[in-house]
Amino acid sequence: MAGRFVVAGVGAAVVLTMLAPSLVWAQPAADEWRVPRTPDGYPDLQGVWANNSATPLERPEVWAGRSRLTDEELAAFRAAAADVTASGLDAVFGDQLALAALAGITDVESYDAGTGNYNQFWLVERDFDNRTSLIVDPPDGRIPARTPDAERVGRGQPPAPIAEKADSWVDRPLSERCITFGVPSLFAGYNSYYQIFQSRDYAVVLMEMIHDARVIPIDGPPHPSSRIRQLHGDSRGRWERDTLVVETKNYSRLGAFWGASEDLTVVERFTRVGPDTLNYEVTFEDSTTWTRPWTVMIPLRRSEDPLFEYACHEGNLGMEGILAGYRAQERTGEAR
């Protein structure tokens, strides 16, 4: 059934636990592949990795109580998703592909009819697997409830749709102003590539979206004082067998994931499980925002394509254009 569907981006987005073997995606037999290693003997995670997963962050109600689809159900889901993107018209970002496919909606409309949207043919093809949510803990595949205080002030929820107008020029979001998209990002299918560099003492994770890069000391000094806070927090890495574990804390108020509090701790785990697959697990923990920690696992796929420079705001004149446009509307009496 065709319908009209307004795209509203979901952000995408945790103490980590090791995944059970049943949750490891595309893991080859032990005699077929060995973890590649750097000259220092550590797993080689370097390269460009893509998050183009079509699996929704949270488990949709229609799949409640089920962590995996049958092969037949997966085939039907893929076919429905293909119907959503077949028109090549307005682009479908992030979780909206899965939600539109499950709702039987194929006539996707831009969230901003005034400016339009990207066409779907500009976007990459999405990756499918049998899982019903990226969230692996809690077991219901849903984001935990927020604390009363977080509910009161609006912390810890996915970013509001861009279609919701800002109150003034001073509260345009950081992502719209091309300052940062925030790290980590759970967003899939649009600028969702990462490049990893390694040396013995450091790892660098470069995110395609707004070219955010983190230089992460490995087995280095501890986190600085909590009085020293940064937009992307302070990241420290360590090896646990063949997994690179990165703990990030000391976020600033503006930089914490989904507006969580400054108490937020994020733990990421990067594990090679095949020649073309890097399992990326993220655990978010903030007892003042969510009632319990929650964990996501995203299978990143190797890409042979390089990352190119991310251009944003077309010369950083977006704010000037917004204000000039509104002044023009005021002169013609169209301002609201």
CA distance 151 to 149: 5
* Residues 135 and 294 sit within 8 Å (Cβ to Cβ): yes
- Residue 6: per-residue pLDDT: 41
**Is the predicted pLDDT of residue 189 greater than 50, yes or no?**
yes
Tokens of 36: 């590649």
- Residue 23: per-residue pLDDT: 44
Question: How many H helices and E strands in the chain?
Answer: 5, 12
- Residue 111: per-residue pLDDT: 63
276-290 mean pLDDT: 97
Of 23-37, 57-71, 189-203, 272-286, the one with minimum mean pLDDT is 23-37
Query: For residue 277, how far is the Cα from the chain centroid?
Result: 17
Average model confidence (pLDDT) for the chain?
Answer: 85
177-186 mean pLDDT: 86
**Is the predicted pLDDT of residue 160 greater than 80, yes or no?**
no
List CB contacts of 64: < 8 A, sequence separation 6 or more: 140
Q: Is the peptide bond before 184 cis (omega within 30 degrees of 0)?
A: yes
Tokens of 131: 């899982």
List CB contacts of 123: < 8 A, sequence separation 6 or more: 85, 91, 92, 93, 189, 190
Tokens of 155: 């912390």
**Is the predicted pLDDT of residue 270 greater than 90, yes or no?**
yes
CA distance 277 to 45: 10
Q: From 17, 5, 13, 6, select the one nearest 245 (Cα to Cα).
A: 17
Domain-wise residue ranges, the chain:
4-59+135-306+317-332
With b for 16 or more beta-carbon neighbours within 10 A and e for fewer, the 203-219 pattern comes to bebbbbbbbbebebebe
306-334 mean pLDDT: 82
54-83 mean pLDDT: 96
299-316 mean pLDDT: 84
249-265 mean pLDDT: 91
- Residue 255: per-residue pLDDT: 86
Burial zone of 64 (CB within 10 Å; 0-12 exposed, 13-18 middle, 19+ buried) = exposed
Of 54-68, 171-185, 195-209, 226-240, the one with minimum mean pLDDT is 171-185
Q: Report residue 34's pLDDT band, with 50, 70 and 90 as the boundaries.
A: very high
Which amino acid, one-letter code, is at 177? R
- Residue 151: per-residue pLDDT: 92
**Is the predicted pLDDT of residue 201 greater than 50, yes or no?**
yes
121-136 mean pLDDT: 94
pLDDT in tens, 2-12: 443 343 433 33
- Residue 11: per-residue pLDDT: 37
- Phi and psi at 318, nearest 5°, equal -60, -45
Of 3-7, 246-250, 254-258, the one with minimum mean pLDDT is 3-7
* Residues 129 and 301 sit within 8 Å (Cβ to Cβ): no
The residue that leads in pLDDT, 264 or 107, is 264
Of 1-15, 132-146, 192-206, the one with minimum mean pLDDT is 1-15
CA distance 67 to 130: 8
